[in-house]
Amino acid sequence: MRKKVIVLALCVALFLSLVGCASKDAPAQDEGTDKKDIKVSVVLHAMNSSFYTKMADGAKAAGEDLGITVDVSAPNTASSLNEQVDLIESAISVGYDGIATVTWDPSGFNSVIGKANKAGIPVVGFNQNAEGSGISAFVGQDYEDAGYEMGMYMFGEVLNGKGKYVVASCAPADSALIARTAGIEKAAKEFPDIEFGGVIDIGTDLTNAYGVIENAYLKDPEIDAILGVDVFSEAIGTYIGTNKLQDKVKGAGFDLVEGTLEHVKNGDMQLTIGQNPFMQGYYSVLELYMNKAHDTQFIDVNTGAQMVTAENVSEVEPE
């Protein structure tokens, strides 16, 4: 990677040492910018899930902790590239000091990010990464590694090296979900008796997702596992639990929303993987603040892959 990847603990240390340890009696540094004047625009790609609101909450919390202005917006239509680009364009026109956005399209943000950079406004990408888009840093999960971890656990520990699986994706063309799927497929190659049954597009509505999963299973009842790669994985557990298929079909997914955690507790799913959306929003704002107020360099932040199974689900809070 072009920048150093750091763990969250180092980010906490960075924040405490550079922001929270100054003496009240010490003279203010002449850095050209009063922190109360710093304004950051956070542009999400959707707000139709508690997972996305956690990212917004993290960004707002950073603004409160740092004493700066943080404005959060999102398209009216989930994952509308045109609407999201328009929101970024507006942030550039207003003259924000920094922009944080979910760069979910491989190339769709290149032009507008280039415009921001030309205007002297740095852009931090978070949650989903688009290599070569011009962002100053990325804050989020290593998606392929996370998918690989899911595959290794499900194929090795749950299916015991044998069976057929399908991947359930809310957006099969999404770069992050493609990377997670690639990681799962990479893991599958280590198990000769694991068969890939394809990707099913479940969309972003849980009721619709349930129906797509149902149709896929009725069409191919030889499916042994359904692996979700996004926040709508909850529908997998709902289908398995409703139809009492726990002994026939295993499920896994991403993100620690309440419904998915309940499915893991009840045995409808065997695994879900968290990526800390609150910290993704928080550290995106922190990076932009530190660069503007203290002229620090941008760095990529890996927010990790938290494996949640029946063994530790009772200790996990929904996100």
Nearest to 166 by CA among 189, 199, 194: 199
Report if pTM > 0.95.
no
29, part of any domain: no
Q: Are 144 and 182 in contact (CB under 8 A)?
A: yes
**What count of other Cβ atoms lies within 10 Å of the Cβ of residue 80?**
15
**CA pseudo-torsion sign 90, 92, 97, 100:** positive
Average pLDDT value for residue range 50-75: 96
Which residue, chain included where needed, has tokens 């750091």?
6
For residue 59, the enclosing domain spans: 5-9+35-141+276-303
Domain harbouring 135, CATH code: 3.40.50.2300
Give the model's pLDDT for residue 33. 60
Same structural domain, 283 and 223: no
Is the pLDDT reported for residue 4 higher than 60? Answer: no
State whether 105 and 176 are in the same domain: no
Residue 316 lies in a domain: no
Who wins on pLDDT, 16 or 109? 109
Task: Say if residue 266 is in the same domain as residue 291.
Answer: no
Of the two residues 25 and 141, the one the predictor is more confident about is 141
SS3 14: helix
Mean pLDDT of all residues belonging to the chain: 91
Q: Same domain for 73 and 157? A: no
What's phi and psi for 228, nearest 5 deg? -85, 150
Phi, psi of 307 (to 5 degrees): -80, 120
3-class secondary structure, 3: coil
pLDDT (mean) for 94-110:
96
Using one digit for the tens of pLDDT, what is the confidence trace for 212-239? 999 999 999 999 999 999 999 999 999 9
**pLDDT computed for residue 35 by the predictor:** 76
What's the mean pLDDT in 288-315? 97
- DSSP per residue, 199-225: EEE-TT-HHHHHHHHHHHHHH-TT--E
Q: Are residues 149 and 266 in the same domain?
A: yes
Predicted pLDDT of residue 92: 99
Maximum CA extent, the chain: 71
Would you say residue 22 lies in a domain? no
Question: Could you tell me the pLDDT band of residue 117, with boundaries at 50, 70 and 90?
Answer: very high
Rounded Cα distance between 91 and 189, Å, is: 45
Tokens standing for residue 203: 């969309």
Q: Are 280 and 132 contained in the same domain? A: yes
Report, as an integer, the average pLDDT of 134-163.
Answer: 98
Asked if 137 and 159 sit in the same domain, the reply is: no
Mean pLDDT of 300-319: 95
Stretch 74-96: mean pLDDT, rounded? 97
